[in-house]
Amino acid sequence: MKTRITELFKIKYPIVLSGMSWISTAELVAAVSEAGGLGILATGILTADETREAVKKIRTLTKKPFAANVTLYFPGAERNADVLVEEQVPIVNYALGKGDKICKAVHAYGGKVVATVATKKHALAAQRDGADALIVTGYEAAGHGGPITSMVLVPSIAETLDIPIIAAGGFADGRGLMAALSLGAEGISMGTRFMNTVESPVNQKAKEYSIAREIHDTVYTNKVDGLHARMMKAKGVDRLMKKKLNPFSALFRSRQIAKMLGFPWLKLAVGITLMGPKRAMQMARMAIGFDAFRIGTMEGDAKKGVLPMGQVTGIIHDTPTVKQVIERIVKETKDVEARVSKKIK
């Protein structure tokens, strides 16, 4: 299987693991890359030292190309970006911020850069900043996606940009990959599908939830971590959506973020104070969301925590290995191509 993405990243199949906090660990990244796809390490919740350790661990588990992400919106993201450059990670993925400096630094050692976007405006900005490819995230996606469905967003951006795009949001099988290619994408990125695999570190209950839930069993809200995101409908989400905050709570909550990321709390607190009430509220939500996501994914507790989950969970019915997922998708894609060809002759 050959697309602009497989050639750009030197991978066998145009299938990418989304960089999901707590989920896209070194082990899962290596499993996806070993199976012929591209694994993306999530560094948003890691300190700089933890990021370096994870990168080194991936290299002990696979010799295949891999990637790591930086969420520029998060405190400490610049330090993680520096680590990825120092370690010369082959492919760096960034989101929620301007990436021109990252592009320049990564290109200096011959690496590639992928920007994650949810709008045409941000896609054009990423291309100007020097990104080699894009992950375009539609409304169906788990976690932070935009308000436009993949069916519309992907062709809209594909026909506008010169660089290749990877479609994210609503993809879990060969039908999805074939559809993405038809819409103008050069590959797909999957979160919920890879979350529910043998190698995934999420709690077994979370995997069972994924199998049991239907396409309508998710909610899209900005009341959990301050940014619009999709997660499984459950009591934990309902509770957080109703939770009332005030800007001053951000200062208290920021201690949790600072401690987890190894970031100086005083520096973070001053920064939040200078942001103004609206941004401070966002930061307070983010601190709450961090803890809720951890509880939902790692403990499988849907009453106290939340579980990021895409609408595509409704067509996921098992917990296979990563290799089985990728091999299945490749076979299904070829089957779909043959079936569709007969219909349009």
pLDDT value for 45: 85
pLDDT, average across residues 258-286: 59
Residue 239 binned pLDDT confidence (cut-offs 50, 70, 90): confident
DSSP class of residue 219 equals E
Residue 291 binned pLDDT confidence (cut-offs 50, 70, 90): confident
Burial class of residue 143, CB neighbours in 10 A (0-12, 13-18, 19+): buried
- CA 166, CA 186: separation in Å to the nearest integer? 6
pLDDT value for 196: 97
Pull the structure tokens for residue 54: 């994870």
- CA 313, CA 210: separation in Å to the nearest integer? 6
pLDDT tens, position by position, 1-50: 899 999 999 999 999 999 999 999 999 999 999 999 999 999 988 989 99
pLDDT tens, position by position, 57-76: 999 999 999 999 998 877 67
More confident residue, 197 or 221: 197
pLDDT tens, position by position, 40-60: 999 988 989 999 999 999 999
Q: Which residues pair with 115 in a beta bridge?
A: 94, 134
Residue 290 binned pLDDT confidence (cut-offs 50, 70, 90): confident
Pull the structure tokens for residue 2: 């050959």
Q: Is there a contact between 168 and 310 (Cβ–Cβ < 8 Å)?
A: no
Residue 107 CB neighbours (<10 A):
14
Q: Is pLDDT above 60 for 276?
A: no
Shortest CA distance to 210 belongs to which of 313, 63, 112?
Answer: 313
pLDDT, average across residues 76-99: 93
More confident residue, 179 or 277: 179
Q: Where in the chain is the domain with CATH 3.20.20.70?
A: 4-202
- CA 170, CA 314: separation in Å to the nearest integer? 10
Q: Where are the beta strands (DSSP E) in 85-236?
A: 91-95, 112-117, 133-137, 165-168, 188-190, 218-221, 229-232
Residue 292 binned pLDDT confidence (cut-offs 50, 70, 90): confident
CA angle 185, 189, 190 (to 5 degrees): 140
| CATH code for the structural domain at 4-202 | 3.20.20.70
